[in-house]
Amino acid sequence: MSESLVLSQREGAVQRITLNRPEALNSFNGDLHRALLATLEAAAADASVRAVVLTGAGRAFSAGQDLNDPLVKPAPAGQPPRDMSEVLLRHYRPLMQRLQSLPVPVVAAVNGVAAGAAVSIALGCDLVVAGRSASFLQAFSRIGLVPDSGGTWLLPRLVGRARALGLAMLGDKLPAAEAERMGMIWKCVDDDALMAEAMALAARLAGMPTRALVATRRAIDASQALDLDGAVQMEARLQAELGASHDYLEGVAAFAAKRAPNFTDR
């Protein structure tokens, strides 16, 4: 496995992680999956990391699955068909689980096209900022597959059923500005401002009460399967947990003293 398939740079409390296979538009093969997962694990284990930015090198965020990877190449005529659930379960599922359970907030900086599973990876981050020339492409229907890596869960929740079906069935490129207008992403910014915006957002999140932010992600994701009372009960459990944390004491003390809080929990 080549380490350079993923670049990982530290800026203050923010870990900037860059998919680095630009010659193949950062499309995912097994090595890139392993490198990204290992880098996310390292960020999760490092208590001094308080936010992550995920981006791509070159002109794409990522073209999704590498269609030249032998694992997904259709089997030759006469051979049993390839089991297309394998790559999804072996690589994309752990990646999406890792993103969704990261102990710090994660910002996607979408620097160019995101296609197929890469749309799910970007949308699986907490905040998505995209450059004006970036786009989102549900490429699956073009090759006879369904949206995966959580696409069928994320898309309708972000944009509603009608738009999710339109995007997934038609497989048209959705420009970043339109994605912002639909509420699919947090923000579309000028290309040359993208990294500065994403890093500033991540630095701001890094200074906030990390445990509360991560619990907020958990609560919002879990609420989708709950009724109102179930959501209130879950909030009660989380408030009980967070109310016993250093950051709550610090937040209230800072408010009373009219000073900036110094949040340290993770």
Q: What residues between 44 and 103 interact with ligand T3D by CB under 6 A?
A: 63-68, 72, 84, 87-88
Report the residue number, 105 or 151, with the smaller CB distance to ligand T3D. Answer: 151
Residue least distant from ligand T3D (Cβ): 116
Q: Quick one: which of 24, 182, 195, 254 contacts ligand T3D (CB under 6 A)? A: 24
For residue 36, state whether it binds ligand T3D (rule: CB under 6 A). no
Among 143, 169, 170, 222, binds ligand T3D (CB under 6 A): 143
In angstroms, the CA 134 to CA 168 distance is 18
Q: In this structure, what is the dihedral angle of CA atoms 65, 59, 137, 8, given to the nearest 10 degrees?
A: 50
Shortest spacing between CB 193 and ligand T3D, in angstroms: 22
Judged by beta carbon, residue 48 or residue 79, the one nearer ligand T3D is 79
State the nearest-atom distance from the C-beta of 168 to ligand T3D, in Å: 12
> Rounded to whole angstroms, how far apart are CA atoms 68 and 72?
7
Please tell me whether residue 137 binds ligand T3D under the rule CB under 6 A.
yes
Interface with ligand T3D, residue 116, by CB under 6 A: yes
* Residues of this chain that bind ligand T3D (CB under 6 A): 24-25, 27, 63-68, 72, 84, 87-88, 113, 115-117, 137, 139-140, 143, 145, 148
